[in-house]
Amino acid sequence: MATSAAEYLERSVSGRHPDLPETTCGTLRLDIHEDARTEHWYLAIDRQNVEVTRSVEDADLVVRADREVFDRLAAGCIHVASALLRNELAAQGNLRLLMSLRRIFPGPPEARHPRDVARAREGRP
Amino acid sequence: MKEELIQVMAGNAFAVSDGVGDMRAQPHVPVGLFSFDTRFLSHWVLTVDGQPLYALSRDDMTYFETRFFLVPGTATHYVDADVSVIRHRSIDDSFNERITVLNHSAKPAEFTVRMEIGSDFADTAEIKSPQQRGIGVLVDQGQLRLCYERGRFGREAIISSTEPVEVDQGGMTFRISVAPNGTWTTNLHVGMIIRGAGTQDLRSSLEAHQRKVRHDMREELREWLERAPTLVTPRKPVASAYREALTDLAALRYQSLAYSQLSPVGGMPWAMALYGRDSMITCLQSIAFTPELAPATLRILAMDQGGRLDDEHDEEPGKILGELRYGEMAAFGSAAPTMYYGAADTTPLFVILLDEYERWSGDAALARELRHPARMALDWIDEYADMTGDGYVRYQRRNTRHGLINQCWKNSPDAVVDRHGREPAFPRATCELQGYAYDAKRRGARLAREIWGDPQYAHRLEREAAELKERFNRDFWLPEQGYYAFALDPDGRPVDALTSNNGHLLWSGIAEPDRAAEVAGHLMGPKMFSGWGVRTFADGQLPYNPVGSHLGGVWPSDNALIAAGLRRYGCDEEAARIVAGIFDVVETLGGSVPEVIAGYPRSQTKYPVQLPAGGRPQAWSSGALLMLIGTMMGLRPLGENLLVNPVLPRGYGPIELLDIPGRWGRTDSYGRERPAHPRGRRPRVR
């Protein structure tokens, strides 16, 4: 895995996220399990700004998963909704905040722009 | 003759059984108890003293409750039965069946009552041939627990009884003694559990279920019907069809995991899930009747708006969801994924619905709240949908394993063809997508100017819309045929089939006014108009097939948009013919509005022939009936007022639609029949 979730949260999440709606406001806590310990990452979202800290404080939404699941999420390899449905990831609280993770973490690295696909003309019937 | 199937439903949970209430899994129809795209019971069969039961009658009390009145034995020898059985079932998040055994004899009687119980935990996407799953069966303190696990993924059905019971691996047995003229009753309760998933606790208790079903849901249905406008009509079948459509819409509302407000699912039995297109079209259709569906739908779709480029999900930033599936196959990627975005029309429809809802409701706060997603949706049209750079909205799946080939409303794999049956290459630009994009830009401009305080952006969108309209009328118009092409291929060559999509172009306003009469002439000509409604695909073209869903079938939802489009361009008489045709379908069939009927000429069959692919009820079919009433009454919000301009088919007057909700509070509309307008009137375009 190129970047772990912890590294990604540390380096790439704090700051402005223009693709988050201005109206999204709330706190998320990511509980990352590994062996017997849990790391807590605390994300405060307010008017397109995300602040990342390490805290065990209560949050509007608490998302729990193994480190491996978070790492794959941070690498864009899994979708948060499918992970939730597979119960690889547990979420408690205001579920409306969960999809914010889709805009905080990257998408799959191999994803293509529709225009590139069209240019390749794979679509000949 | 097909066996009668009985259904109860509530949101995305439903149960389908035979006429005595038994459920036995079948390959072609989803029989059993379902919730969140999972079958929790595939076998549920009641016997008394080893005998199957025979139905005397049934009481479909509400969409969520049915009672079966039964006697043991078969039709030939039930006469003078001295025992009868009532199965009273209800559904919300859980399922309950209250079984009452009545002893009609003057002596005490002993019976063995048995319910055979089993589950295959099939995904609704694989009903035709469910995979074999290892099912755990636990007999646990008088309960039967059926469990399925795959890694951390877990589904469980827990069946309990209020009366003492012998539980075994295959079901539950009651050895009972009933007093002379006495009764015995038990409640079999089925809890449906989705492990994890941050769910609401689906293990609701029997008491909570009964309180909810008997009080809350009945009361809520009564209030729902009361909140809707009152229709006063001399045609009794129309009045009952209206009530049925409203009830169907109530039945097809579901609560997502994140929002408490309810939004429409697609419909029974294959689409009991959130579909962006069906849901938004339903909201648009029902906006004058049940406007509360729109904000709930807009919010959930905004929350689920695409955020990333993702091939498996056919997702791009700003794109609005195609469908949301909670089943195992979606979660594990053996079908289209949980959140699938393979739809090219949902994104413009989102902006259209947001604007239309604000026009009706005056809810500017919602339009402000959803500015960001609306803006992302509008950006998507230019950045991601214009795949060849010619300014048209196009689609081509990137998920080539499970993605949809055609990502427009005509989404069957062979739906997009020219008049000789040739398929265009990808990416495809079907015409109605351009109409929706045009409408979205115009409406986005209004929102930008009047609510978002961004006149520059409004100006830009208006300019783009005008350019799109001009380009479209140049590239899609087939001057020799006198209608708009079905689609353009990637090189800009028109796909020349004559289709109902022309009507959507009227609905969107992208058609040039001086072409409306010619387009209307095609839509209402014998090649397209079956007598019941406008066919999806015109007769006389090679691929035409009267029993093909999108190659000849007649869809009430399609026709509702076409009729609205015809009125928008002043083709009032034509709109009235469609209203009358679809109402005739509903009056003839009774019950819920079908999803699609065959394209046979009405004069040939005299009866609307339903297609097996169609299910009842469907949200956008029920919504179609409401929209047709609105079109007939000519309802249109203008500023703070509701304009009313009725044009009734013969035999439909006088008609009243009272207490229409909107920014005006509540207002009434009245319609009388009037002589048809002379033809050649100046088209009215708004």
Shortest distance, CA B15 to any CA of chain A (angstroms): 22
- Check B153 against A85: CB less than 8 A apart: yes
- Check A19 against B376: CB less than 8 A apart: yes
pLDDT digits (tens, 9 = 90+) for B484-514: 999 999 999 999 999 999 999 999 999 999 9
Chain B residues with CB under 8 Å of A79 CB are: 310, 312-313, 337-339
Q: Which amino acid is at B547?
A: V
* HSE toward the beta carbon, residue B98, CA cutoff 13 A: 16
Shortest distance, CA A48 to any CA of chain B (angstroms): 11
Contacts of B600 by beta carbon, 8 Å cutoff, 6+ apart: B530, B546, B609
3-state secondary structure B16-83: EECCCCCEECCCCCCCEEEECCEEEECEEEEEECCECEEEEEEEEEECCEEEEEEEECCHHHCCCCCE
pLDDT reported for residue B2: 55
CB under 8 Å, gap of 24 or more: what pairs does B256-259 form? B256/B300, B256/B324, B257/A95, B257/B197, B257/B198, B257/B199, B257/B200, B258/A94, B258/A95, B258/A96, B258/A98, B258/B300, B258/B303, B259/A96, B259/B296, B259/B299, B259/B300, B259/B303
Torsion of Cα atoms, B369 then B373 then B378 then B382, to 10°: 160
CA distance A56 to A97: 18
For chain A, say whether B258 makes contact (Cβ under 8 Å). yes
Could you tell me what percentage of chain B is helix, strand and coil, using 3-state DSSP and rounding each to the nearest 5? 30, 25, 40
CA distance B224 to B229: 10
CA distance A109 to A105: 11
Q: Are B242 and B595 in contact (CB under 8 A)?
A: no
- Say yes or no to pLDDT of A16 above 70: yes
For B101: left if phi > 0, alpha if psi spans -120 to 50, otherwise beta; the answer is beta
pLDDT reported for residue B460: 98
pLDDT reported for residue A10: 95
Contacts of A106 by beta carbon, 8 Å cutoff, 6+ apart: A74, A75, A76, B308
**Residue found by looking up tokens 């807590």 in the block:** A40
The token pair that represents B613 in the structure block: 């692919």
Bridge partner list, B618: B267
For chain B, say whether A16 makes contact (Cβ under 8 Å). no
pLDDT digits (tens, 9 = 90+) for B446-461: 999 999 999 999 999 9
The DSSP secondary-structure symbol of A85 reads H
Contacts of B240 by beta carbon, 8 Å cutoff, 6+ apart: none
| Helices then strands, each counted (H, E), chain B | 17, 32
Q: Are B147 and B138 in contact (CB under 8 A)?
A: yes
Which residue in B273, B287, B265, B250 sits closest to B65, CA to CA?
B250
pLDDT reported for residue B205: 61
- The two most distant CA atoms of chain A are separated, in Å, by 55
For chain B, say whether A109 makes contact (Cβ under 8 Å). no
pLDDT reported for residue B73: 83
For chain A, say whether B365 makes contact (Cβ under 8 Å). no
For chain B, percent of residues with pLDDT exceeding 90? 88
Closest-CA residue of chain A to B299 = A96
pLDDT reported for residue B198: 44
For chain A, say whether B331 makes contact (Cβ under 8 Å). yes
A6 by DSSP, 3-state: which? helix
Q: What angle do CA B169, B171, B176 make, to 5 degrees?
A: 130
Rg (CA), chain B: 26
Q: What residues in chain B have per-residue pLDDT under 50?
A: 1, 198-204, 680-683, 685-686
pLDDT reported for residue B286: 98
Shortest distance, CA A56 to any CA of chain B (angstroms): 20
Q: Which ipTM score applies to this complex?
A: 0.96
pLDDT reported for residue B1: 39
- Count other C-beta atoms under 10 Å from residue B659's C-beta: 14
Q: Are B515 and B477 in contact (CB under 8 A)?
A: yes
**Residue found by looking up tokens 């239309």 in the block:** B356
